[in-house]
Structure 1
Amino acid sequence: MPPLQPAQRVAVLADSQNLYHSAQSVYSQNIDYAALLDKGVQDRELTRAIAYVIRAQSEDEDRFFDALRDIGFETKIKAIKTFGDGSKKADWDVGMSLDAVSLADHIDTIVLCTGDGDFSRLCRHLRHEGVRVEVMAFEESAATELVDAADSFVDLSERTETFLL
């Protein structure tokens, strides 16, 4: 896999639901998305930054979406689905994976900001295609198979003063 170089083209894909729930369950705090993006890019050439978010009709979510855009993220918004039995579902796993595969020919490195083990197969596929894969997540809630499948792992828990608000 290509080593870290300033000329690398980077895409940062942030699984906002996973990050939010991890930060809340472990620290009862929110993510600093500006710091997350800065660390993900690391002085390389940013090609795309996408935050995958869920519209849950909660107060302040529009301000959050606007803040993400102000930081430099493109936002992809999906409404939460409620089923007849009252259960709810909302995730961007397929959408993030399709975007990552679509971007692979245009980037050197992809930074997946998630701890979701469902992305381990995506990591292996991207690496097979010659794309460097970096994962940023909280170690306490990051799936071992995801960490093992990536070229590098940034544990957000090691610098909570940087990555949490």
Structure 2
Amino acid sequence: MAFRPSRLAIFIDGNNMFYAQQKNGWFFDPRRVLNYFANRPEIELVNAYWYTGLKDPQDQRGFRDALVSLGYTVRTKMLKEFHDESNGNRYFQRANLDIEIVIDMFNTVEQYDEIVLFSGDGDFERAIELLRAKQTHITVVSTDGMIARELRNATDRYIDLNDIRSFIEKTERPEPFVSAPVIAPA
């Protein structure tokens, strides 16, 4: 029987991870994330998705272009403004991309055996349960204090960002290029 690597898809909830990284006081490098999870002979990276909200169409243009050059599929949505009058008319912005993440997970489910989801959002609990029922191995990456208990309980494996910090943290010097992650054609 021929060896077949496990097919991996990575889904990064960029907005959720931005706040998790702010809480931790450090930021991860998207290239190092790919290297950490996909540069092993038993893994075939089939896709990596990055989801983020935008203030305007040009917002984060350089960063989004860099993600694409690394092999990420980037999904965006315009931020919506909200005012919370019950809390002193506090203003905040939000771009909820949960539906887009779940749609991509289920539209590509036949392409992968395992996923890594970077999010702490409990809204993913049911999607994770359904994917596990299809024999998909699920790893969720977030940080304590920002991971919903329901999501943590639904996953096969939970990784705290701080536990892999030395492998994925953005550094001042660019990391030596090990090898480009191979993203298999769809």
Residue 135 in structure 1 maps to residue 140 in structure 2: yes
Write the letter of the residue equivalent to 2:34: L
The yes-or-no answer on 1:157 pairing with 2:162 is yes
Amino acid at match of 1:74: T
Moved more, 59-68 or 140-149: 59-68
1:7 to 5, 8, 11: 5
How far has the Cα of 1:42 moved from its partner?
Answer: 4.8
Q: 2: CA distance between counterparts of 1:92 and 1:83?
A: 16
> Of 111, 124, 134, which aligns to 1:119?
124
Q: Are the aligned partners of 1:53 and 1:77 in contact in 2 as well (CA < 8 Å)?
A: yes
Q: Which residue of 2 aligns with 1:52?
A: 51
CA–CA distance in structure 2, aligned partners of residues 153 and 112 of structure 1: 10
CA–CA distance in structure 1, aligned partners of residues 39 and 159 of structure 2: 12
Q: Shift in Å at residue 83 of structure 1?
A: 5.5
Question: In the alignment, which of 143, 149, 153 is matched to residue 144 of structure 1?
Answer: 149
Is 1:92 the counterpart of 2:91? The answer is: no
Question: How far does residue 104 in structure 1 lie from its aligned partner after superposition?
Answer: 1.2
SS of the residue 2:11 aligns to: strand
Whether the 8 Å contact between 1:19 and 1:114 is mirrored in structure 2 is: yes
Q: Post-superposition shift, 1:57?
A: 3.9
Aligned with 1:23 (options 13, 21, 24): 21
Matched length: 160
1:32 corresponds, among 19, 29, 32, to 29
C-alpha spacing 1:60/1:84, structure 2 compared with 1 (3 Å)? closer
- Say which SS state the counterpart of residue 35 (structure 1) adopts: helix
Distance verdict in 2 for CA 1:157–1:106, change over 3 Å? same
Larger radius of gyration: 2
How far apart in 2 are the matches of 1:77 and 1:59? 11
SS at match of 2:21: helix
DSSP-derived class of the 2:145 partner = helix
4+ residue runs over 6 A deviation: none
Question: In the superposition, relative to structure 1, how do residues 60 and 102 fare at CA in structure 2: closer, same or farther (>3 Å)?
Answer: closer
Counterpart amino acid of 2:76? I
Task: Tell which deviates more after alignment, 12-21 or 75-84.
Answer: 75-84
Q: Which runs of 5+ in 1 are unaligned?
A: none
TM-score, length of structure 1 as denominator length:
0.85
TM-score by length of 2: 0.76
- 1:134-161 CA deviation, whole Å, 9 max, x = no partner? 1122233212221211111221111323
Question: Which residue of structure 2 aligns with residue 68 of structure 1?
Answer: 67
